[in-house]
Chains A and B, each alone.
Chain A
Amino acid sequence: MRPGPGSTLMTYLLLAGMAALFIAPLLMMFLGSLKADHRVLLESGSLTAFLPRELSLQNYSDVFRRSEFPRFFFNSLFITSCIVVCGLVVNSLAAYAFARLQWRGRDLLFNLVLALMILPFEAIAVPLFYGASILGLRDTYAVQILPFIANAFAIYLFYSFFIGMPRELEEAARIDGASTLRIFFSIIAPNAKPVFASVAILTFLTWWGSYLWPTMVTIGPTVRPLPVAIASFYTLPPLQWGDILAFGVMMVAPVVLLFVIFQRWFVAGVASSALKG
């Protein structure tokens, strides 16, 4: 299905048109973050929004003065890393047990795990919030991390990968008398890097931007993560768009950078989520 020259031009035109719509908000955010606060809204209605004139880093230093940005950034990074790292270990081990070991009750439990996949977090937020409240666990890191480590979908993704690995891989080691844990770490895991990467990226994307739960369980700025921080910075008077956009740029820049570098993995990770079904 080779496209002709006319359709190639058409394709590019369509792509370019869409690209303009996608890039406009991003560009406005970036350039706006470098403009004086009062100019941001004033210029957003004309092409001057996209003109790099009289730029300065003032807004960025304002963000550090008006908010505890480094703390928020650390909080987000710490919370998300803990969920990702602990989740990889806990969920892959469980998936390994389900996929490669013979044991009583396995199928029943695995079906239960599959059933839990359809429960979105929103369906348990209220009782979880109630529990966190009466136990006095609000405003901690733990309450933002622990509930999200074990994840049925991650177990399922690992399971789907492990079940397809050839049995011979571990047979030899088993005959040598290696322990189950050792087999997992030295043979299974090293051969399953793609699924670890996929799960890591999907988990990261899910919780890095998580907003609902932390708005309910964080109070002051101590353990507040970025998504909540940007929302409260936005409502912190006076409304200064330059500062807000600078906050936004600093908040996504590292992730955008990671994404551009590891794009292949991001795309593979997202595509693998469609396994479900």
Chain B
Amino acid sequence: MSRRRRLNDQTAPALLLAMPALLGLLLFILLPFATALVLAFTDLRLGSPLAVNLVGLDQFLYLFNDPDFMRALLNNLLFAAVAVPLQTLLALALALLLNRGLPGTLAFRTLFFMPVVFPMSLVAVIWSLIYAPGPNGMMNAFLQWASFGLWEAKDFLRDPLLAMPAIMLLSIWQGVGFQMVILLAGLQGIPQTLYEAAALDGAGRWRQLLHITLPQLRNPLIFVILVTTILAFRLFDQVQIMTRGGPENATTTVIYETVQAAFARQQVALASAMTVVFFLLVLAITLLQRRFTHHQREVA
């Protein structure tokens, strides 16, 4: 009896405590998202004096026949396919190097993590200077020096072939510290005894890495890959500031197209449809990650 009363007693205070957060989530996440789902099936344009109509799947059909949007999707996939493995490998390499516990490690960790506290818009501005066209630009000069003068100065951000790699590079530079720290924490959680046992069995450095470190790091690695992949699909700030999606759509992205549609062209319905596509992508990636993580739990 008394136990039951206590249970009942908590419903009121619990709701009270949870209410502000739940209200916020409802008003600013659930409701807008539901709105996007509805708007995607209309032809709403901000500011248009014309009446709004329900148009069914027209916006989606339009998107999948729109070379710009398809290019944006392709760019995001490309970014994910190239930057995610590179960034993860680099983060892993840095974490492994730092995990040796050599003197000075702290200073290196500080440095590698430093760009993470830089707002992306600032990073984009600084790297615009680094990518300055002509032989005076830092990147051009560096490549010229590294190639013994073979490199011909390029305008990175206006070159359809180089613009995307240029944006990838600075994104990796800015973000790798984040992943590194997570992997480092994962490495430090691996029991030392595992390595000692392996060393007794005569396992070399590479075999230890392959058979102990990587399997033990499985979950942090999957997490890091997930976060970086989703970031690849959220790509916007750098593109907006450095290239505005150009040249020739070489750097346009789903979010850039969405913002262009909603903000620059007032096509709210079309942008909502893009939002839905974007959400489905993120959902797919997340489910994929859940699956992989789950498998591991079953094995363990």
Contacts and interface: CB of A to CB of B under 8 A. Distances in A.
Interface of A: 1, 3, 8, 11-12, 14-15, 18-19, 21-26, 28-29, 32, 40-42, 44-46, 49, 90-91, 93-94, 96-98, 101-104, 106, 109, 113, 116, 118-120, 122-131, 133, 146-150, 152, 155, 179-181, 184, 205, 208-212, 215-216, 226-228, 230-231, 234, 241, 244-245, 248, 251-252, 255-256, 259-260, 263, 266-267, 270-271, 273-274, 276-277
B22 interface: yes
Contacts of A209: 118-122
B15 to A, nearest CB: 7
B59 interface: no
Given A22-B115, A28-B130, A124-B32, A103 B140 contact: no
Contacts of A32: 129
A150 B24 contact: yes
Interface string B11-26: 1011101101111110
Contacts of B282: 118-120, 123
A155 B115 CA distance: 27
B177 to A, nearest CB: 9
19 contacts: A1-B205, A12-B102, A19-B111, A91-B21, A97-B14, A103-B7, A118-B282, A125-B259, A126-B36, A130-B35, A130-B268, A205-B116, A208-B117, A211-B237, A212-B237, A226-B119, A245-B129, A252-B122, A259-B113
A94 B18 contact: yes
B138 A119 contact: no
A150 B173 contact: no
Nearest to A1: B195
A118 B283 contact: yes
Contact of B36 (A103, A123, A226, A259): A123
A277 B21 contact: no
A256 to B, nearest CB: 6
Interface string B208-222: 100000000001101
Interface stretch (B64-72, B78-86, B157-165, B270-278): B270-278
Nearest to A263: B110
A96 B223 CA distance: 26
Given A44-B129, A101-B10, A274 B182 contact: yes
A255 B18 contact: no
A211 B30 CA distance: 22
Contacts of B181: 267, 270-271
A119 B110 contact: no
Closest 3 CB pairs of A and B: A150-B24, A209-B119, A45-B141
